[in-house]
A and B are shown apart, each in its own frame.
Chain A
Amino acid sequence: MKNDMTAIVRRTILLVSLVAGGTSLALAHHSYSAFDMAGQRVITGTIKKMDWTNPHTWIWVDVANEQGVVETWGIEGMSPNYLERRGWSRNTIKVGDKLSITFHPLKNGDKGGSFQSAQRPNGEVLGMTPPISEK
């Protein structure tokens, strides 16, 4: 039941962030020009580490490639300061969690990107109000 409620709260967070769309708040700590913000990719894997750090959280996830070789991907998310005020904690994503993560990939082809949303095997969606624009 608690998990259900948590999922509802998180879905609501995501929904609110989408509804609030079209308005820009200024100045994340960097430009998003390294990411292909028009592109989108989904990976599914196991959380290797969660960096609950400023200026951004980093989700490190082990993903098996087409040859079955496990590779570590790094997904940049909003800061802990921002997320804690919106229902997240440093334990929302834990080592060993299985997640499908949708993100904007790095333009240079490195195994990384900018977080858009994530989904657990039970369907719970994790919304993180998406990246804020630079300037």
Chain B
Amino acid sequence: MERTRQIIFGCIAASLALVPAAIAQTTVRKAPTAADWAALAKLPDFTGVWEVGLGGGGGGRAAAGRAAAPADAAAGGRGDAAAKGGRAGAPAGGGRAGRGGGGPSLTPAYAAKAQARVANPAEDAQAANCLPPGLPAIMNQPYPMEILMTPGKVTIVIEAYTQVRHIYTDGRPLPTDPDPLFYGTSVGHWEDDTLVVETVGLAQVPRGLTFPYSDKMKIVERFRLTGPDSLTIETTAIDPEAFTAPYSMGTRNLARHRTWTIAEYICEENNRNFIDDKGNAGTKLSNPLSSAK
């Protein structure tokens, strides 16, 4: 009997020694205590529904609510060129306040990749099949997002494409060998009243940034309240392999709409875009009465 017990313990010990590194990094979530909730209540309140607005200052409400361009300016000025990769170096995600433009300063190898993109631009395919953009463009959509704060975590519920970002604030480290993901893996910490979010493991997303980047790229976002219902997010991209210096992607200004809720957004519901055999987007007009609603 004692012998059997020794064998069982031996097996357990051996299996623990074989736990892969990825699992060994796992952070076990503790049940939050009353003290954890109390500590949370002392932090700046980022919770609620936010909408990206126009640039300049603390995100004026009126402007934020109607932040869109007339069709002609919008499509003619930006749509085609960017969709075809014509503006190598400019970030997808649109012009926001404080953005210098021109994209990051690239290392020679990545400058060559940028040139190749101009010579052989991406087609419309991914823009037409409801694929969401990755980080950081997902933070710049014409739909609001809701920020939730719980002990050890900030969660961003993004209406566009019904996406979620998980930002761990429980002190866990960034992964050293992350899987490439649309939104990467994010951890956050507080520097006074600023939530600093670091994200690594960003995949080469088809509708993502218009400049080339490596799997070493890190996105740093600094979230800070600038008024009772205004939030700024300052975004910087750092890539030791692709960029010669950190690249400031500017500041997004968001307005909090206290009467708004997040709505359903199922992009596949009535998506009429298709890709032709040349990879260009078209619009399907057949079966006009077949949609769900």
Cβ of B291 within 8 Å of any chain A Cβ, yes or no, is yes
User: Given A81-B265, A85-B260, is A33 in contact with B270 using a C-beta cutoff of 8 Å?
Assistant: no
Bound CA span A56–B284, Å: 13
Let me know if B133 and A130 touch, CB within 8 A: no
Let me know if A24 and B77 touch, CB within 8 A: yes
The CB with the most chain B CB atoms within 10 A, among A37, A48, A106, is that of A37
Let me know if B70 and A17 touch, CB within 8 A: yes
Let me know if B80 and A31 touch, CB within 8 A: yes
Cβ of B63 within 8 Å of any chain A Cβ, yes or no, is yes
**Distance from A13 Cβ to chain B, minimum over Cβ atoms (Å):** 8
Let me know if B83 and A34 touch, CB within 8 A: no
**Distance from B200 Cβ to chain A, minimum over Cβ atoms (Å):** 23
**Distance from A98 Cβ to chain B, minimum over Cβ atoms (Å):** 18
Cβ of B23 within 8 Å of any chain A Cβ, yes or no, is no
Bound CA span A125–B78, Å: 27
Interface residues of B in 91-131 (CB under 8 A from A): 92-95, 124, 127-128, 130
Bound CA span A55–B54, Å: 23
Cβ of B74 within 8 Å of any chain A Cβ, yes or no, is yes
**Number of residue pairs A-B, CB distance < 8 angstroms:** 211
Residue of B nearest to A20 (CB): B66
Interface residues of A in 47-64 (CB under 8 A from B): 48-49, 51-56, 58, 60
Let me know if A48 and B288 touch, CB within 8 A: yes
Interface residues of A in 117-135 (CB under 8 A from B): 129-135
Cβ of A88 within 8 Å of any chain B Cβ, yes or no, is no
Bound CA span A53–B269, Å: 7
Let me know if A30 and B288 touch, CB within 8 A: no
Contacts of A112 in B (CB 8 A): 283, 285
Contacts of B54 in A (CB 8 A): 20, 23
Cβ of B82 within 8 Å of any chain A Cβ, yes or no, is yes
Let me know if B69 and A27 touch, CB within 8 A: no
Cβ of A69 within 8 Å of any chain B Cβ, yes or no, is no
Contacts of A34 in B (CB 8 A): 273, 281-283
Question: When each residue 18-41 of chain A gets 1 if its CB lies under 8 Å from chain B and 0 otherwise, what string results?
Answer: 101111111111111111011000
Out of A84, A86, A111, A134, which one reaches B82, CB within 8 Å?
Answer: A134
User: Given A81-B159, A110-B285, A130-B70, is A55 in contact with B124 using a C-beta cutoff of 8 Å?
Assistant: no
Bound CA span A51–B264, Å: 15
Cβ of A10 within 8 Å of any chain B Cβ, yes or no, is no
Out of A17, A26, A129, which one reaches B137, CB within 8 Å?
Answer: A26
Bound CA span A58–B273, Å: 12
User: Given A20-B69, A53-B269, A56-B272, is A26 in contact with B285 using a C-beta cutoff of 8 Å?
Assistant: no
Contacts of B73 in A (CB 8 A): 21-22, 24
Contacts of B269 in A (CB 8 A): 53-55
Let me know if A53 and B291 touch, CB within 8 A: yes
Let me know if A134 and B67 touch, CB within 8 A: no
Let me know if B71 and A58 touch, CB within 8 A: no
Cβ of A100 within 8 Å of any chain B Cβ, yes or no, is no
Let me know if A131 and B270 touch, CB within 8 A: no
Out of A86, A108, A131, which one reaches B74, CB within 8 Å?
Answer: A131
Binding site for A on B (CB under 8 A): 52, 54-55, 62-63, 65-80, 82-84, 92-95, 124, 127-128, 130, 133, 137, 140-143, 159-161, 207, 210, 260, 263-267, 269-273, 280-283, 285, 288-289, 291-293
Give 6 nearest A-B pairs by CB, closest first.
A26-B94, A135-B82, A53-B270, A133-B74, A130-B71, A37-B75
7 inter-chain pairs at a CB distance below 8 angstroms, sorted by A residue, are: A13-B66, A25-B52, A30-B273, A32-B71, A53-B270, A55-B270, A130-B69
